[in-house]
Structure 1
């Protein structure tokens, strides 16, 4: 270490005490050091020089820093040695989400049936346009103002055209589904809707040449067989309603497959809430001319109905709000539960809707029809299990 040069004597005070320090590099040399007035020491930081340094500063054994425990247990266990994680949503919160999801799904289905069949409001395209208008407004409020999810933007014209295509198919599936409710009971409508996996597998094979395991296709046999049995035993069977309902189910499956194809790249993927934010206004643009042409003077007729019974306005407003909450609660349940739980809940939801609709509308059912529907649900469950088992083999 370099020797320290003594200060000039003119700078030294007579009464100051001189200390000496031995230089380790030159032990025979003595150097006077002036002792400066002590300053208040602050032990905010602890510094330990490398072992090669001639001076080593140590914190006293009684120092609070050396005795303070670490902020969390230092252990090699997976659950320890890390900062504490946030608590998972409580069971009560999850149960509330599931109850809201069931209520909104079944509620909008039954209210659609009541308006289009029992009440006599025979304008399914206009009703769907009301749904899409509400979804547009509520989606913007939820994402732009309430920040339920981060807003994702459309990055290119190609992506815009892809979303427009999905929106058009989405319109067809919803409108056809609402039309079928005019002619078919909810129970039979749900039985046909349960065949969505069958059409999804067909479109996936035709459009992507994706083959599933043979067990997956075998599981689809009871799905289709159950609907055939239910159709033969349905007392309220209506051919046109049946065809329209099958078309709605196929369109729903086509939209699912196309969404996986068109929005497959990382830069184009949108979560369900942002996808609804862009699809709903496009759907309104598609549905507005359709309702004006195909449902002539629907606005005037609705206003005339409102003069006689103002409840029709409240029915439409409440029904449209429920249509949005179906999508919101579906997103939240998907976020807070596992894929298996969601699959089980989805299958049970259809069965609950059937039971509730029979209790409310008192539509006649046959043992054959219920057996057919039960067979379809069992087939859907087997299909989900087969898909789950085939994934590890494909990967």
Structure 2
């Protein structure tokens, strides 16, 4: 019965996305806006939740990240069993390219999300998000070194301002912590290397993986790295102490809440991309980062200087501008290919492609891939 209900709802929404006929235009727009607000809100909540968790009740970021992966795997399994094929159908992995891609993803995830969560134990959320905003620069540099890809003048200008803003914000921060900075910077490097190396290893071959394919096939392999690393960091003892201090129920509840946030964030982002495009989702990155920085000052005891405020404003403006230049380039490319970037025909033709966007890129165009990353 649940399967039939989900099938009918998905069919109606997809029809609305294609032709705007099954749902009134205002209702379709409202659904998209609501999903956008949910995605941005949940992204900020997830960042704040992780900072709170790793700074106080449970300083075992690697172990918690492993539980997030298990939750995502279970959620993806449920979606695979219950959702109609029009929403998600597990990909068949029967070639070398698919296998190579799924071997890189867990390693890149540990380098990216694992190290990012670990850095939250040592640095403030504002600094963490500011350093993470450096990712377009890191991706551009690695893609140039590995693929020889050169950025356009407008995007290069935004990257220069982004570097200046990040340097101002980090250097002037009274909360600067060298260890936290190095770990977070390592996560940014891990993200960019994961994206570019995936494109490089694929050798031009396209392997379309739905977000849920990545959660279904690559979540558990990442535990091979996360759990031994967690044990080596002494997080087993940290977990025992946290249970003794806060109680088993509280710790289990926090772990389950984090797992639910990890999976539902991917779910809502997937719904938003299916109704619009991964290109539009990429533009929201700057707003999500800026909101997390702003809210963090109202929740956590953080300090900031006038130069730090100026640096954050410059970096966030440059980050958002870079996203919009990328959006315009993508729409222009789509227009050259189809004649109109926003036509209903285009949305119908590209629906399967947009629904299958991978976590770490699907072609040798590493920059395109970077805009399709869903970071929990």
With normalisation by structure 2, the TM-score equals 0.75
Are 2:69 and 1:109 aligned?
Answer: no
**Structure 1 residue 161, shift from structure 2 partner:** 3.0
Q: Are the equivalent residues in 1 in contact too, given 2:165–2:315 (CA < 8 A)?
A: yes
After superposition, where does 1:52-201 map in structure 2 within 5 Å?
A: 85-87=21-23, 90-119=28-57, 121-147=58-84, 148-201=87-140
Structure with the bigger RCO (C-alpha within 8 Å, sep 6+) is 2
Between stretches 335-344 and 372-381, larger displacement belongs to 335-344
**Structure 1 residue 183, shift from structure 2 partner:** 1.5
Deviations 1:312-342 (A, max 9, x none): 1101110111011222222222222345643
Structure 2: how far apart are the matches of 1:98 and 1:386? Answer: 20
Structure 2: how far apart are the matches of 1:309 and 1:205? Answer: 49
Structure 2: how far apart are the matches of 1:366 and 1:210? Answer: 37
**Structure 1 residue 241, shift from structure 2 partner:** 0.5
How many residues of Structure 1 are paired with residues of Structure 2 in the alignment? 312
Deviations 1:26-50 (A, max 9, x none): xxxxxxxxxxxxxxxxxxxxxxxxx
Which residue in the other structure is 2:174 paired with?
Answer: 235
Which residue in the other structure is 2:296 paired with?
Answer: 357
Higher radius of gyration, 1 or 2 = 1
Q: Are the equivalent residues in 1 in contact too, given 2:32–2:272 (CA < 8 A)?
A: yes
SS of 1:97 mapped into structure 2: helix
Deviations 1:143-173 (A, max 9, x none): 2323441111211245223211121111121
Between stretches 254-263 and 295-304, larger displacement belongs to 295-304
Q: Are the equivalent residues in 1 in contact too, given 2:280–2:327 (CA < 8 A)?
A: no
With normalisation by structure 1, the TM-score equals 0.72
- Which consecutive residues of structure 2, in runs of 5 or more, have no partner in the other structure? 1-18, 337-376
After superposition, where does 1:334-373 map in structure 2 within 5 Å?
A: 334-338=273-277, 341-373=280-312
Structure 1: how far apart are the matches of 2:180 and 2:225? Answer: 23
Which residue in the other structure is 2:272 paired with?
Answer: 333
Give the direction of change, closer, same or farther, for the CA distance of 1:386–1:346 in structure 2 (3 Å limit): closer
Structure number with the higher helix fraction is 2
Give the direction of change, closer, same or farther, for the CA distance of 1:93–1:112 in structure 2 (3 Å limit): same
Structure 2: how far apart are the matches of 1:259 and 1:104? Answer: 28
Q: Are the equivalent residues in 1 in contact too, given 2:134–2:162 (CA < 8 A)?
A: yes
Q: Are the equivalent residues in 1 in contact too, given 2:174–2:304 (CA < 8 A)?
A: yes
Give the direction of change, closer, same or farther, for the CA distance of 1:107–1:338 in structure 2 (3 Å limit): same
**Structure 1 residue 377, shift from structure 2 partner:** 1.3
Give the direction of change, closer, same or farther, for the CA distance of 1:309–1:361 in structure 2 (3 Å limit): farther
SS of 1:211 mapped into structure 2: coil
Q: Are the equivalent residues in 2 in contact too, given 1:234–1:366 (CA < 8 A)?
A: yes
